[in-house]
Structure 1
């Protein structure tokens, strides 16, 4: 059966005109109002409601305009018109059956040509361009929400500019108006399947956040309690403090990372944290702040002003506006893992004191078969809030793993980095297995083919909700 209306997914339809007649004569519409109701023929809950405009009451004509937001979900819709007459009576058209509308798949996104790689040398706080490489074979770049990302590039050894590649230098991949920037950490020439020396370099490294990997938290270790405490402060404030005193303005000036600064303003973002630092690696402490607060962090470079900037990142809850699912044609399932293992549900956190006088704090409310206890030695924590925060952090690190990876398919429905990005919380479906509202904790971009794989979170506060669709007969009995 041919649909009465065909519309492109996430598209619009030129104003549609409907003429009502009875026995060949126009139906008078003076004083009448009309509403179009469209229901997806397969998936309940997807519907479109649009008021119709009376175009010419004497000619019996109605006008209807669809918007892009109406047509994001593809498929066949059954349509009925509800007309309320001037005297208050109503009519439904057609009297039996339905009109039909077909929202077709969106056109494939145009291919975006990969941009050349850039190789830079650092001079103080400035990156100086050394070479442009436009003949790379492949690049895989993974961004991460709470830790430095990683990248790998395969580059012909004799490509123009390849001789500028060197450990410790910087590399950037411009795309869509900004840059992915990383540090070259290793270069390798591998053997081919035939045992011959490859004609390509395999170059790997991490994103700019890796510069913080070279600092441990030494601030305050020789004064007071010996701990650098950030208690009951916003996650962003704590992160900025630890970066400032250990990498930007440390007591010992030789520890300073020249050219690195904090973002201009502390916006106090993220929930409050309880963190005590002493000899941990700086990125580990930042991850602890991130786990408690829900924030991410990054180090970026400003090509206009020069200089490296640390900033906390906050995601946006887009669960009501972004839904990725194979049945919508906007993603493919790349991997799914759910593992209970020995994940604790209750933390028994032991604080300060000796023997019977030692402070014990229980974190978690699970009971019976669902209660799996974990002992946490937290002698460095002095208050109940600190003990609770430490217990929550341990449960977050060790809880049940639920990780879903999806290969995003570009459509006009949602645009990566325009409608959603790393750190955002979105809705995702794995038909027949689970539906999730989870944070995007990693994004892997592969060039030149443009593949984008999203990794959706596994731990609190990344996993907002998880509804498993699989049959659980045993649980219901």
Structure 2
């Protein structure tokens, strides 16, 4: 998919413009729905603006407020042609959540729409923390519109970025941080996404298929390797005095059981809720990846975008998937491209261990 090569603005935390770069070797910018994305940029050392690419500076792609990242990595080396090149990497602005854990004397419990719950934790640990040293003055929450599935949540001494990711996945709603030049703030907000599948009739459908010549390099994954459908949620207490509640359902050989540590739950009802949340992470992984071709039928960020639910088809594979776009990777090199991922993210080894191992939490 041919895209125009975007310019890169470099700003500091006070929104002061430090450089504008139009000539670089390559840029990959990845946006994700449930968690922060990342970027990687290569630029020859002799080019204009390189001297302003310092750590903690912000790059803004094509002056779009939702496409910005924090420089956290710098490496100088030589490419295959012997040219000295600077490589910079970092997360999108949502990576700022990785700098906090949910510090609290007792479990921080909240119930409400997913948007309310996530903004509660962002406010408590980044914006208006009890400890002034934990506050980030340039970060604010967008107005809370109460969007997303109503859910209870609780956390204590967990990475804040993991908490928001788990809430987002459980409630199927995205989030991001974007820039607001008018108030000179970073703004945390949710991303509901749109239903653009072939079955709905409210909006023009978006269908990616080789039949329409708008996708290539496809891959499809359907895996039950980590799937569990019955959980025994363990609450407070020890040994035979520990409260256990069963969640989920399954019969015979199709029943796949797992023990879920939910020792922070205060009562049976809370134990069931937390058990269902944890069991939901051990689901069938269905994902579809493809490279989008520029046929003019669907325009990126106009007809479809990150978080939208679209239809992906491959007739020769017998596969039709209606699912959410959870990742978009923009690649700007001599030939620009765009890759998308639908469905669940394949867990890393660390994530799989976390899902299969009981988390150790101190009770109240």
TM over 0.5: yes
- Tell me what 1:352 maps to: 236
Distance 1:415 1:431 in 2: 23
Taking the aligned partners of 2:148 and 2:23, their CA distance within structure 1 comes to 42
Note if 1:456 corresponds to 2:335.
no
Q: Go from structure 1 to structure 2 and tell me whether the alpha carbon gap of 1:381 and 1:179 turns closer, same or farther (over 3 Å shift).
A: closer
In the superposition, relative to structure 1, how do residues 179 and 135 fare at CA in structure 2: closer, same or farther (>3 Å)?
A: farther
- The separation in 1 between residues aligned to 2:38 and 2:280, in whole angstroms, is 23
Q: 2:109 aligns with which of 217, 229, 238?
A: 229
How far residue 409 of structure 1 moved from its aligned partner, in angstroms, is 1.8
Are the counterparts in 2 of residues 275 and 386 from structure 1 also a CA contact under 8 Å?
no
Superposed displacement of residue 193, structure 1: 5.0
Mean Cα displacement is larger for which, 341-350 or 151-160?
341-350
Corresponding residue number in structure 1 for 2:287:
403
Taking the aligned partners of 1:292 and 1:368, their CA distance within structure 2 comes to 27
Does 1:200 pair with 2:85?
yes
Is 1:190–2:81 an aligned residue pair? no
* Residue pairs, 1:412-451, within 5 angstroms: 412-433=296-317, 434-448=319-333, 449-451=335-337
2:226 & 2:175 partners in 1: Cα distance? Answer: 30
CA RMSD of aligned residues (A): 2.1
Work out whether residues 79 and 85 of structure 2, in 8 Å CA contact, stay in contact via their aligned partners in 1. Answer: no
TM-score (norm 1): 0.67
Corresponding residue number in structure 1 for 2:190 = 312
Alignment CA distance shift 1:341-1:179 (3 Å): closer
What displacement does 1:404 show? 0.9
Equivalent position of 2:132 in the other structure: 253
From the CA coordinates, give the structure whose radius of gyration is larger: 1
Please give the secondary structure, in 1, of the residue aligned with 2:279: helix
Structure 2 counterpart of 1:367 = 251
Identify the match of residue 4 of structure 2 among 113, 122, 146. Answer: 113
Q: Which runs of 5+ in 2 are unaligned?
A: 199-204, 346-364
**Are 2:58 and 1:170 equivalent residues in the alignment?**
yes
Q: CA deviation at 1:235?
A: 0.7
8 Å contact from structure 1 (residues 333, 430) kept in 2: no
Structure 1 unpaired stretches of 5+: 1-108, 460-477
Tell whether the 8 Å contact from 1:441 to 1:455 is kept in structure 2 after alignment. yes
SS at match of 1:127: coil
Partner Cα distance (1:430, 1:411) in 2: 17
Give a deviation string over 1:92-142, Cα, whole Å, max 9, x none. Answer: xxxxxxxxxxxxxxxxx8x543122111122xxx31111111111111110
Which residue of structure 1 lines up, in the alignment, with residue 40 of structure 2? Answer: 152
Measured after TM superposition, the shift of residue 316 of structure 1 is 1.5
Give how far 1:378 is off. 0.7
CA contact (8 A) 1:326 1:333 kept: no
Distance change in 2, residues 1:298/1:401 (3 Å): same
Aligned counterpart, 1:240: 119
Residues 251-292 of structure 1 show CA distances to partners (whole Å, capped at 9, x for unaligned) of 1111101111110x2111111112111000111111121122
Question: Match for residue 351 of structure 2?
Answer: none
- Aligned pair count reads 338
Encode CA deviations 1:208-256: one digit per residue, 9 max, x unaligned: 01111111111xx32xxx100013x111110110011111011111110
Alignment-derived partner of residue 43 in structure 1: none
- Whole-angstrom CA distance in 2 between matches of 1:193 and 1:114: 22
Measured against aligned partners, the alpha-carbon deviations of 1:333-379 in whole angstroms (never above 9, x if no partner) come to: 33322322242222211112333443222222222121111111111
SS at match of 1:421: coil
**Secondary structure of 1:397's match?**
coil
Partner residue of 2:49?
A: 161
Rounded to whole Å, the distance in 2 between the matches of 1:388 and 1:181 is 39
What is the distance in 2 between the residues matched to 1:396 and 1:202?
A: 38
Check the 8 A contact 1:410/1:416 in 2, yes or no: no
How do 1:71-150 residues align onto structure 2 when only pairs under 5 Å count?
A: 112-122=3-13, 126-150=14-38
TM-score, normalised to structure 2's length? 0.87
Alignment-derived partner of residue 206 in structure 2: 322
Structure number with the higher strand fraction is 1
Determine if the alignment matches structure 1 residue 300 to structure 2 residue 184.
no
